[in-house]
Amino acid sequence: MGPLLIVLLLALLLFGGGFALHLLWWIAVVVIIVWALGFVMRGTHSSGGRNRWYRW
């Protein structure tokens, strides 16, 4: 009974980790797309220079 519980617990942990990593990949893709769009849609200064769209 003990080894069966250990195997089931390990399978549950690996499934949860795989789901979390998959979710993190999608979040990373969305962040990269937003970051890249920031270069395309950034405004201009009144002096004609380009402005950053973020405040870092």
**pLDDT tens track, the chain, 56 positions:** 888 888 888 888 888 888 888 888 899 999 999 888 877 776 655 555 556 555 55
Contacts of 38 (CB under 8 A, 6+ apart): 53, 54
Contacts of 33 (CB under 8 A, 6+ apart): none
Query: What is d(CA 17, CA 22) in angstroms, rounded to the nearest whole number?
Result: 9
Contacts of 54 (CB under 8 A, 6+ apart): 38
Locate the domains of the chain by residue range.
1-40
- The residues pairing with 44 across neighbouring beta strands, listed in sequence order, are 50
